[in-house]
Amino acid sequence: MPDTPLTLKEICAKFDVTPRTLRYYEYIELIFPQKDGRTRLYGPREVARMKLILRGRRFGFSLEEIRQWLLIYQQQGTKAQLEEWVRLADRQLDALAAQKAELETSIADLAALRAQALDEIGGK
């Protein structure tokens, strides 16, 4: 059942994160699980937020950038959030393109040095 809240253990397994990570995300106000005593329950909203958080991390955004982006939705709605997403995505695409160019240069340099070393030792 998709609307059945997940326990800490279940959400950790679903997203392959540690309980410490989830507690930290809660501490910095990225997620807001329901609390029943000491038990934390994660509903559909928290599952959706975890997907966005982990996707943002994969793209290289900081947790603070993700937190601010999620906050925009609560304060200003979808349009403002999407406009901010485009701004952040444009910035990150530029940064990733620069990293890609650096990596391509490093790969080419390393391959050339390897070839030179092989020539010197008479290898293949």
CATH of the domain at 20: 1.10.1660.10
Q: Does the reported pTM lie above 0.85?
A: no
User: What's the average model confidence in pLDDT over 3-16?
Assistant: 94
- Per-residue pLDDT tens digits for 90-124: 999 999 999 999 999 999 999 999 999 999 998 66
Alpha-carbon separation of residue 97 from 63, 72, 86 (angstroms): 21, 27, 16
| Total count of domains within the chain | 1
Per the structure, the complete domain to which residue 61 belongs is given by: 6-121
Q: What angle do CA 27, 33, 38 make, to 5 degrees?
A: 85
Q: Do the domain assignments include residue 63?
A: yes
Q: Do the domain assignments include residue 1?
A: no
Residues 6 or more apart whose Cβ sits within 8 Å of residue 68? 84
